[in-house]
Amino acid sequence: MLLRGYLGVRVSGPLFPGRRGERLTTRHVGRRLKAWLRAARIERPASPHTLRHTFAVGLLEKTHDLALVQAALHHASICSTVTYARVAPERLRAALGA
């Protein structure tokens, strides 16, 4: 809902555009994230990739749909997405009733 409100009527273009409407570079996003973490006094290191990974894992846990995660991450091959399908040992034990 919040994202829909942020996007408004836009249907294409970058999700978070720069001042002139262009896509932000990876380096620019990394610098911004580092500043935001510092301002929030969060000492744990993080990167844009950390956020992407967290998003993917959360989406997979919520939907159990690897193809959906593949589409969300724009992976050309499902092989790139399979890395998110690792099973936590606790979850396996719970499923087996052990």
Instruction: Tell me the per-residue pLDDT of 46-75, one tens digit each, with 9 for 90 and over.
Output: 999 999 999 999 999 899 899 999 999 999
15, amino acid identity: L
Give the tokens for residue 68: 């959906």
Predicted pLDDT at 88? 72
Length of the chain counted residue by residue = 98
Top-confidence residue, 92 or 24: 24
pTM (two decimals): 0.67
Closest CA to 29 of 47, 7, 52, 55: 47
Instruction: Tell me the per-residue pLDDT of 25-53, one tens digit each, with 9 for 90 and over.
Output: 889 999 999 999 999 999 999 999 999 99
